[in-house]
């Protein structure tokens, strides 16, 4: 009897160890701009409160000109660090590496670093803006050499989302009517996150033959100030374990450097393209920038 119980416990432990995991990363923060319904401080606090409620340690990838380099915005950044979250680099002005000189992009990384390195949560992690790593061999190889020389990790994304697109719709609706019922947008947003999560999980199984530790990309915006709590709860309901970004990046898949034929997408999509694989059934929803959800909301008059 005891042997059967031990065997069952070992099987349960093995299953738990292989359970799908996800790390939460937030780009473009802290955003000190104005939005309907909530001030910058209220948005920042709401996102931090949702993470604290679910006992999640996340990573904030800082674009300093969005507020961190101002007297009003710096305390927003400091609040993330004090709460125990990792602080990573997302440049100064969020330039597109495909449109600016390599030297300018590298300069912005170093300038951002000079501010964020003062924070206790600082990590030498770079999240490429627009997830674009360069459109020429000079830029791609130049940035990879730059990262190695400066001890930086490329903070890859496996679970990409279009939260920014749904956030645009949310702000547009509330700008017209601050008291508008935005429940349909909330429902669409949660469905969008779930669809992307399941699709990228399936893709990881196709490419790696296993569940990788996913890295989720969200943004420091109003939609997450309102509903990040619901997003985190939904992952719990799906049976996903939320881990720290450092734990996720320890997965060997994030050591891979695929040749990116199409920029600005998930690491998994890039790996698939490098292997010459076509789009899986339904995979067009992974690259439509939320067009499906926006079209469904339009049918509801939004």
pLDDT at residue 1 greater than cutoff 80: no
Query: For residue range 35-78, what is the model confidence (pLDDT) as tens digits?
Result: 999 999 999 999 999 999 999 999 999 999 999 999 999 999 99
pLDDT of residue 281: 65
> Which sequence spans correspond to the domains of the chain?
21-299
pLDDT of residue 283: 72
pLDDT of residue 122: 98
Encode the chain in three state secondary structure. CHHHHHHHHHHHHHHHHCCCEEEEEEEEECCCCCCCCCCHHHHHHHHHHHHHHCCCCCEEEECHHHCCCCCCCHHHHHHHHHCCCEEEECCCCCCCCCCCCHHHHHHHHHHHHHHHCCCCCEEEEECCHHHCCCCCHHHHHHHHHHHHHCCCEECCCCECCCHHHHHHHHHHHHHHCCCCCCHHHHHHHHHHHHHHHHHHHHHHHHHHCCCCEEEEEEECCHHHHHHHHHHHHHHHHCCCEEECHHHHHCCHHHHCCCCCCCCCCCHHHHHHHHCCCCCCCCHHHHCCCCHHHHHHHHHCCC
- Average pLDDT of every residue of the chain: 91
CA distance 191 to 281: 18
Q: Identify which has the larger pLDDT, 262 or 215.
A: 215
What percentage of the chain carries pLDDT values higher than 90? 83
Q: Lowest-confidence range among 24-28, 119-123, 258-262?
A: 258-262
Query: For residue range 83-96, what is the model confidence (pLDDT) as tens digits?
Result: 999 999 999 999 99
Backbone angles phi, psi at 127, to 5 degrees: -100, 115
pLDDT of residue 3: 40
Query: For residue range 106-119, what is the model confidence (pLDDT) as tens digits?
Result: 999 999 999 999 99
pLDDT of residue 273: 82
pLDDT at residue 5 greater than cutoff 90: no
Query: For residue range 176-212, what is the model confidence (pLDDT) as tens digits?
Result: 999 999 999 999 999 999 999 999 999 999 999 999 9
Q: Which CATH class is domain 21-299?
A: alpha beta
Query: For residue range 133-161, what is the model confidence (pLDDT) as tens digits?
Result: 999 999 999 999 999 999 999 999 999 99
- pTM for this model (two decimals): 0.92
Q: Identify which has the larger pLDDT, 166 or 274.
A: 166
């Amino acid at each position: 009897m005891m042997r059967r119980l031990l065997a069952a416990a070992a099987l349960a432990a093995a299953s738990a160890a292989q359970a799908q995991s996800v790390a939460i990363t937030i780009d473009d923060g802290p955003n000190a701009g104005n939005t309907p319904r909530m001030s910058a401080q209220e948005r920042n606090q709401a996102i931090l409160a949702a993470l604290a409620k679910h006992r999640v340690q996340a990573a904030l990838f800082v674009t300093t000109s969005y507020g961190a380099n101002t007297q009003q915005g710096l305390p927003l950044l400091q609040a993330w660090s004090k709460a125990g979250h990792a602080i990573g680099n997302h440049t100064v002005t969020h330039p597109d590496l495909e449109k600016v000189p390599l030297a300018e992009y590298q300069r912005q990384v170093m300038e951002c670093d000079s501010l964020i390195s003062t924070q206790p949560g600082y990590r030498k992690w770079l999240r490429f803006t627009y997830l674009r790593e360069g459109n020429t061999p000079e830029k791609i190889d130049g940035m990879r050499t730059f990262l190695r020389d400066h001890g930086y990790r490329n903070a890859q994304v496996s679970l990409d989302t279009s939260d920014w697109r749904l956030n645009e719709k949310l702000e547009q609706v509330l700008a017209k009517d601050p008291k508008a019922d935005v429940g349909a947008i909330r429902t669409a947003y949660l469905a969008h996150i779930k669809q992307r999560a399941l699709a990228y999980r399936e893709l990881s199984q196709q490419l790696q033959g296993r569940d990788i530790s996913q890295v989720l990309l969200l943004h420091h915006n109003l939609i997450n100030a309102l509903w990040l709590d619901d997003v985190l709860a939904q992952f719990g309901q799906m049976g996903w374990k939320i881990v720290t970004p450092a734990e996720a990046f320890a997965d060997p898949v994030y050591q891979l450097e695929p040749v990116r034929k199409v920029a600005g997408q998930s690491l998994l999509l890039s790996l698939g393209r490098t292997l010459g694989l076509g789009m899986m059934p339904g995979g067009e929803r992974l690259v439509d920038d939320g067009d499906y959800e926006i079209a469904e909301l339009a049918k509801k008059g939004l």
